[in-house]
Amino acid sequence: MINSKLCDLLGIEYPVFQGGMAWISDGKLAAAVSNGGGLGIIAAGNAPGSYVREQIHIAASLTNKPFGVNIMLLSPFVDEVAQVVAEEKVSVVTTGAGNPTKYMALWKNAGIHVIPVVPSVSMAKLVTRLGADALIAEGGESGGHIGELTTMVLVPQVCDATDLPVIAAGGIADGRGMAAAFMLGACGVQLGTRFLVAEECSVHPNYKDKILKASDLSTITTGKRLGHPVRSLKTPFSRALFEAEYSDISDEELELMGTGKLALAARDGDLQNGCFLAGQIAGMVKKEQPAAEIIREICEGAEPLLKGAAAWVK
Ligand code: TUI
């Protein structure tokens, strides 16, 4: 059975995190993942504190296992959400899309395990100094807001830069990805796209359908001009946004084009105007399954690969 120091640190059975996906990862999905032995994570996204508190209560009513909340640091509600997770004393907070320095003391004092997403070695060093408990090295194969580096180059460099447990994210959807991440020095993995099609995920069926039908070349990166690259599935909307970036429209108009489009995809399944965030690994995600089955399959797939690694050495 796959086990790592991350399991002991967080009190989980399998070192598998479900990535916080804005508008998608709610209390129900997080509880299903945690009940399956992984770490379920509620996404705060751009939602207010009241929504996050409600989802924490839903998750707590469905599981007695640890779960986490992902805080998107660009959110207009970030201050109140930071307070809510401290009051609710969730087991784990992960952060994304920014620098968590301002909130570290608040969360540490509440006894929360703080696990920031880092897109670079410098951010890994910073959060290590600040007292993070572990970190997530997320490569640009991921869906949503992405950094510059790929998982293959980011994970080993982050592992060299910190003594903290490192969770690899970006481009991982099965046991092979997990085994590879462990070979790069990670002791856990985080998956978003594969959990998006979990049975317990309440996202609009059109969103799941688009993931299940995706191929290797189905994603596109937009937002580079405005300094926040975002990976999503190719749709009429994302292609238009991509083209607009290279036109002479103003930054303000461009920003406006992207606003609210994730909700249109996740809540309404709007195939024309929605922004369907997804990782490059979407092409390998072919089946809707219970979250617990996904976790078991990934770990059972990685186990023989890691055990058999000695076969490569004479
Ligand atoms: O946060 C994510 N993925 C996300 S957030 C999101 S909602 C959103 N939508 C539109 C624009 C922006 C956000 C959708 N997907 N992943 C974690 C992640 N964090 N990836 C990269 C980073 C990151 C980037 C810069 C973390 C820290 C960072 O620091 C920059 C600095 O120096 O402040």
Q: Is residue 141 in contact with ligand 1, taking CB distance under 6 Å?
A: no
Q: Is residue 145 in contact with ligand 1, taking CB distance under 6 Å?
A: yes
Q: Which of 74, 145, 230 to mutate to test the pocket of ligand 1 (most atoms within 8 A of CB)?
A: 145
Q: Given pLDDT bands bounded at 50, 70 and 90, which one contains residue 284?
A: very high
pLDDT exceeds cutoff 90 at 306? yes
Q: What is the atom index within ligand 1 of the atom nearest the CA of 46?
A: 7
Q: What are 246-255's contacts with CB under 8 Å, separation 24+?
A: 251/225, 251/226, 254/225, 254/226, 255/226
Mean pLDDT of 145-150: 96
pLDDT exceeds cutoff 90 at 100? yes
* 208-222 tens-digit pLDDT: 999 999 999 999 999
CB atoms within 10 A of CB 200: 20
Can you list the domains of the chain with their CATH numbers? 5-202+284-312 (3.20.20.70), 219-277 (no CATH)
pLDDT value of residue 63: 98
Mean pLDDT of 286-298: 98
Q: Is residue 127 in contact with ligand 1, taking CB distance under 6 Å?
A: no
Give, using CA atoms, the residue closest to atom 22 of ligand 1: 97
**What is the pTM for the complete model shown?**
0.97
Give, using CA atoms, the residue closest to atom 17 of ligand 1: 96
CA of 144 to the centre of ligand 1 (A): 8
Q: Sheet containing 135-138: which strands, arranged edge to edge? A: 16-18, 188-191, 166-169, 135-138, 113-118, 92-96, 67-72, 40-43
Mean pLDDT of 159-188: 98
Mean pLDDT of 35-40: 98
Mean pLDDT, the chain, whole residue set: 97
- Distance between start and end Cα atoms, the chain: 25
Q: Is residue 146 in contact with ligand 1, taking CB distance under 6 Å?
A: yes
pLDDT value of residue 3: 83
Mean pLDDT of 266-270: 97
Which residues lie below 8 Å from residue 36, measured CB to CB, with a gap of 6+? 14, 290, 291, 292, 293, 294, 295, 296
pLDDT exceeds cutoff 90 at 54? yes
Mean pLDDT of 64-77: 98
